[in-house]
Chain A
Amino acid sequence: MMRQSFNYGTDANVHRVYDLDAIRRDFPILKREVNGKTLVYLDNAATSQKPVQVIAELTRYYRDYNANVHRGVHTLSQEATAAYEGAREIVARFIGAKDPCEIIWTRNTTESINLVAHTWARANLVAGDEIVISEIEHHSNIVPWQMLRDDVGVVLRYIPMLQDGTLDMAAAKRLIGPKTKLLAITQMSNALGTIVPVAELAALAHAQGAIVLVDGAQGVPHLPTDVYAMGADFLAFSAHKMLGPTGVGVLWGRMELLEAMPPFMGGGDMILSVTMQHSTWNDVPHKFEAGTPNIADTIAFGTAIEYLEALGMEAVRAHERELLDYALDRMVDVPGVTLYGPIDRSIRGGVVSFGLEGVHPHDIGQVLDSYGVAIRAGHHCAQPVMARLEIPATARASFYIYNTRAEIDALVDAMREVVRYFGGVHA
């Protein structure tokens, strides 16, 4: 692996990007002890922690203005509706969308992708049409298309992953052709951290008249994102990986696509009128949002985005890049370590998938947990990536706005303990 040298100064806690100590004070969970050690939370690709501001907004909604939205003429309902729709405006602004009505609330990224598979894809694709995805996709951007293939007879094509976790762009140019109707591609690999050249791929797809869906579950929380700059027609992502509550997802789509799409689920809120014979659909986005939504969590998601906006996503990216450099430079010296993922750090998010010779990732995770270090061990819902690397699983450390170099030191020290604990084992 290429080594890059950076001057970190003498104090491992000196950070130049933003006031890290102030940020950490906003996350009370980071003071928690786990197994007698201070928590070192490095499982941010699975879910992020939540700042007090987000937790407070959840409480404030239930305490001060809990009411259903879009229904009541009473004050509480109007306040709840204003806050709920206000979150739509915040999200639209955050991803550079023109119209807040292009923001559709779902439960998570998975539901957002399934919504497109059930509505747009079933209305527009026929047998023989091709969908191009990649081998580094999360299962949530594979399985819905396999189900569509089995139902409709579309053909699924995979852009291959190269050994370093990047995509084979030459193959992509061959695969995206006149039969391609949809490119569904991740912005960033959750398993390896690969930042995908989405705009370049989208241009290839658009040249063939195809639609582009971007899985932003891993990318949007960590990278400056502009739906037009990346060439997306649909963008799916989740609140819980970006300081927000669980249970809130976003589907952004271009308005002309959304207007032409049939509804997703039927019920209240998604209709204009219902007779016993038939119903007419409400306008976008409500056409896709049947039933009472997840009001409190959606409002608190708006608070989470405002927190990220205050830091600035360029600063978030710079901070994580600094942590990535520090982590890779330190981890590579652990005996028996294998580091997976792109060697070019400029196309890599704050994710380090690794293995230790002779130690199964679950054993790595277990020993690290005994030192309070929380990482993920497993296939990361990306089994095709594991198959390409010919391994069953990896251990994965993933960073976010509040992580420190001292925490990476704790990770590396605990990794050395794993090696010592299982020393001499060759599975």
Chain B
Amino acid sequence: MPETTGRATPQLDDLYRDILLDHYRKPRHKGHLDDANRKADGANPLCGDQVTVEARVSADGRIEDVAFTGTGCSISQASTSMMAAFVYGRTADEALAAVGTFQTMMLTGEAPPDEVGDIEALAGVAKFPVRVKCASLGWKTLEQALKDRTVDASAPVTTDEGKE
């Protein structure tokens, strides 16, 4: 029988870290940019997770502003919020490097040695392989937006290779 006091199981608390739930409840940078020059859509249709990432990147490659909209599970939405908070004000190259750091963290389950702020809280997702695609969606969508250098969305990014 479930306990009636305290948080759920320790394992679950590893997935739903307080900081992650905080980003889910109070997403950062949620909304649209009027003057975005980078944009990409991401969708995992089987889950129903969906995000759109917009950014304004300056001529010298700095992410002056970033925003996202979306719906989906707590992991997908919180991870996208944490991504936006992290890349805001950094250069596009730093942001792309952070995508790589994030992906490594999903493989190893270990927080990276570098200072990555709240993102470290996502390390616990790696223990739940079916949720890695949820956490990855916003990051892959950012990567697409920065690499494609286009405002017009092409085919949505997906991290969902599974089936249902």
Residues of A within 8 A of B (CB): 35-37, 359-363, 366-367, 370-371, 378-379, 381, 386, 392-393, 409-410, 413-414, 416-417, 421-422, 424-425, 427
Please determine whether B164 and A425 come into contact, CB atoms closer than 8 angstroms.
Answer: no
A393 and B1 CA atoms in complex are apart in Å by: 27
CB of B102 within 8 Å of the partner chain: no
What residues on A are CB-neighbors of B134 within 8 Å? 362
Nearest Cβ on chain B to A366's Cβ, whole angstroms:
7
Q: Which residue on A lies nearest to B76, using beta carbons? A: A360
What residues on A are CB-neighbors of B141 within 8 Å? none
Interface size class of B (residues with CB under 8 A): 20 to 34
Q: Which residue on B lies nearest to A427, using beta carbons? A: B71
Pairs A–B under 8 Å by Cβ, sample size 7: A361-B73, A362-B134, A366-B12, A366-B128, A367-B8, A370-B11, A392-B71
CB of B16 within 8 Å of the partner chain: yes
The A-B contact count (CB < 8 A) is 69
CB of B129 within 8 Å of the partner chain: no
What residues on A are CB-neighbors of B128 within 8 Å? 366
Q: A362-B73, A425-B25 are in contact. Are A393 and B8 (CB under 8 A)?
A: no
Q: Which residue on B lies nearest to A369, using beta carbons? A: B12
What residues on B are CB-neighbors of A427 within 8 Å? 24, 71, 77
Residues of B within 8 A of A (CB): 1-2, 7-9, 11-12, 15-16, 21, 24-25, 46-48, 71-75, 77, 128, 131, 134, 164
Q: Which residue on A lies nearest to B26, using beta carbons? A: A425
Please determine whether B46 and A422 come into contact, CB atoms closer than 8 angstroms.
Answer: no
Nearest Cβ on chain B to A163's Cβ, whole angstroms:
20
Q: A35-B11, A370-B8, A422-B21 are in contact. Are A417 and B2 (CB under 8 A)?
A: yes
A416 and B71 CA atoms in complex are apart in Å by: 23
Please determine whether B48 and A393 come into contact, CB atoms closer than 8 angstroms.
Answer: yes
Q: A371-B2, A378-B164, A427-B77 are in contact. Are A366 and B15 (CB under 8 A)?
A: yes
**Most chain B CB atoms below 10 A, which of A35, A370, A378, A424:** A370
Q: Which residue on B lies nearest to A393, using beta carbons? A: B48
Please determine whether B77 and A366 come into contact, CB atoms closer than 8 angstroms.
Answer: no
What residues on B are CB-neighbors of A392 within 8 Å? 47-48, 71-72
What residues on B are CB-neighbors of A35 within 8 Å? 9, 11
A414 and B3 CA atoms in complex are apart in Å by: 9
